[in-house]
Amino acid sequence: MYNALGFMTEKETGRRSINVLDPRVAQQVAAGEVVDRPASVVKELVENALDAGTSRIEVELGDGGTSRILVRDDGSGMTRENAGLCVLRHATSKIRNVQDIEAVMTLGFRGEALPSIASVSSFSLTTSTGEGAATKVAVEGGADAEVSAASHPKGTTVLVDRLFYNVPARRAFLKGARAERAAIVEVLTHLAIAHPRVAFRLTEGSRDYLSLPGTKDLLERLAQILGIGKARALRKVEYESGPFGVSGYAALPSLTEGSRANQTISVNGRFVRAESLQRGLDDAYRATIPSGRYPPVAVEITADPRRVDVNVHPTKQVVRFSEERAAREAVAAAVRGAIEWRPSAPPSSPRVPERTFTQDRFSGYSPPRTDYPSRSAEDFSPHNAPPAQGLQEARERLSEASAPLEQSLAEKPEPYGDFPERGGLPKALPEELRVIGQLAAGYILVEEPGSLWVVDQHVAHERAILDRLNDSDSPATVQSLLVPEVVDLPPAEAELAAASLEELSVYGFEAEPFGPRLVRVTAVISTLADRDIAGAFKDALLAISGTEPGHRREDHILATIACHSAVKMGDRLSQQEMEALIKSWLTSRLPATCPHGRSICYRIGMNEVARKLDRH
């Protein structure tokens, strides 16, 4: 009957006939597409509650949901007739015809969730519209439903006992109670972010695992989940492009985590897992965060439902867009616009009144000395730097997202007290900053009224240079070398270089073979002149060999050029050079972190200094 590999022989399979499955068997097969673990049960039941207009959802678990799941809501409820129909396959109130499928706005519509859950559990549903008697529907493992009268307030309560008790093979694949509970917490958290006005509560035994009161806006919900400190690092996202609108909040690059657990994307109110949209988030944070790190994001994409296919998979978590690329680009542009720092000059800016203290002001940029050890004047000049008032307005815009949160907490924090540990920046106008000097030929000390900032000169300059390299309005030029740089390479790298000369020229490296293992570089991008050309060339080759063509490779090569172009630890700078560097850094788009995601500066408050010196 079976061959050596355990498969039936052709003779045996040829004798088997095609049969129509028993309805209960077919129902359990179909249930596997919708229900694979307790978290998927909770998701389907909660989405039904949200479609019913609930304002509060309570979920109770037993053994992480493996033995008991109860979901209670205060939504519209169902009549006795509808309650009896809801456990039948493909019975739904959401659609009537094919045209309705093409414009679905509800979270559920397939009419598969409840019958699928009821076929693999001991299932009961009690519901009331608030008028007359309530209705209870009980189904045991997919058997015929038993409908009876009951007592229940307006809303619906669904109880799922002994999940997969009649499908031992499926139950054997469930994980432990802790892992299953964690999956439920994750699902509920995403749904709570997508619907901030609804209250959510998750309990098991006497312990609350989630307790989220309904909020008036998304920022308050994110503060409940992430904490107040992290919520203050979020920036508001508002964007429209063609058929897509994007709104929500995105964290500054200085705040990252090790997984996408706190990245929530919803489409027309539906929490989804869409790879193309996640790539849009990655595009937005390119060259700002380390590899494998993910900033918290909560965004909703609104679009004409006819442009979104939600009927891709029975779980309805996978969606497709008629314009997939445009959706990805809209997400990337929306988030990038929120986290970038590109101030625009106002039409007229009143002069900021002078303060009473008499410290030296920012003197304004002038070309640095010609004996500067590492850079030319051109490379330190602020590129298209806007007037100071425009910069201040941009900083105020970056701070305004936390205003509703402060009001809801009914307290006014200290100017820097609740700012995230990484990513803080001076808030004063540039002319109110004073460069005090250089510490250990590597750190620039900047005084702001009430505080001292320690700035890493290398990564600050690196960020400013990378901003210029990415600026299509003011691109860096290619500069011919008076004395060509000859780079000695191992044979394999020399061969790669010879094959990559055209691509390297895109990044300013004009080079030619100069022997079996030598390459002669005759021109480089202007920021790299007089710097470590050989090191930059080798690292660019490493990026070409180690990454696939595309944005990731481009980011890697540009970051390499910026790193080798920037001043180094140990380079002593003049006062004018330090002032120019600080100004060009603060007028870059993403001054909080370097291209590799490291912090650039940190603040020491005067109160802290006074405490250390016992001057309370």
Check residues 103 and 107 and name the one with the higher pLDDT: 107
Q: How far is CA 314 from the centre of its chain?
A: 26
Give Cα separations from 160 to 92, 114, 125, 396 (angstroms): 20, 10, 9, 51
Check residues 128 and 173 and name the one with the higher pLDDT: 128
In 3D space, the residue among 136, 98, 118, 146 whose CA is nearest the CA of residue 45 turns out to be: 118
The four Cα atoms 162, 165, 167, 170 give a dihedral, to 10 degrees, of 50
pLDDT in tens, 364-404: 333 333 333 444 434 444 333 333 344 444 444 444 444 44
Mean pLDDT calculated for residue range 482-497: 91
The four Cα atoms 110, 115, 120, 124 give a dihedral, to 10 degrees, of 130
Residue with tokens 């673990």, as numbered in its chain: 37
In 3D space, the residue among 447, 430, 431 whose CA is nearest the CA of residue 439 turns out to be: 447
Check whether 71 has a pLDDT greater than 90.
yes
Max avg pLDDT among 15-19, 28-32, 184-188, 409-413: 184-188
Mean pLDDT calculated for residue range 187-205: 96
User: How is domain 361-616 classified at the CATH fold level?
Assistant: formyl-coa transferase, domain 3 (3.30.1540)
The four Cα atoms 495, 499, 503, 509 give a dihedral, to 10 degrees, of 50
In 3D space, the residue among 216, 229, 231 whose CA is nearest the CA of residue 401 turns out to be: 231
User: How is domain 218-339 classified at the CATH fold level?
Assistant: Ribosomal Protein S5; domain 2 (3.30.230)
Check whether 54 has a pLDDT greater than 70.
yes
Check whether 405 has a pLDDT greater than 60.
no
The CATH number that domain 23-212 falls under is 3.30.565.10
Domain with CATH 3.30.1540.20 in the chain: 361-616
Check whether 349 has a pLDDT greater than 50.
no
Segments in 162-241 forming alpha helices (H): 168-171, 177-194, 218-226, 228-231
Sequence-separated (6 or more) residues with CB below 8 Å from residue 477: 525, 526
Task: Give the pLDDT score at 187.
Answer: 94
Q: Which run of H or E residues covers position 505?
A: helix 501-506
Check residues 358 and 435 and name the one with the higher pLDDT: 435
Lowest mean pLDDT: which of 55-64, 232-241, 469-478? 469-478
Task: Give the pLDDT score at 87.
Answer: 86
Radius of gyration of the chain (CA): 31
> Using H for helix, E for strand and C for coil, what is the string for 287-347?
CCCCCCCECCEEEEEECCHHHEECCCCCCCCCCEECCHHHHHHHHHHHHHHHHCCCCCCCC
Task: Give the pLDDT score at 315.
Answer: 55
Domain with CATH 3.30.565.10 in the chain: 23-212
**Which pLDDT band holds residue 362 (cuts at 50, 70, 90)?**
very low
In 3D space, the residue among 214, 211, 88, 76 whose CA is nearest the CA of residue 156 turns out to be: 76
Lowest mean pLDDT: which of 177-181, 313-317, 354-358? 354-358
Q: Vertex 526, ends 521 and 529: CA angle to 5°? A: 55
Check whether 500 has a pLDDT greater than 80.
yes
Is the CB of residue 432 less than 8 Å from the CB of residue 448?
Answer: yes
pLDDT in tens, 1-53: 555 555 555 555 556 677 666 666 655 555 445 688 999 999 999 999 998 99
pLDDT in tens, 286-315: 878 877 889 999 999 998 888 887 766 555
Check whether 200 has a pLDDT greater than 90.
yes
Q: Is the pTM of this model over 0.75?
A: no
Domain with CATH 3.30.230.10 in the chain: 218-339
Q: b or e along 457-474 (b: 16 or more beta carbons within 10 Å of the residue's beta carbon)? A: bbbbbbbbbbbbbbeeee
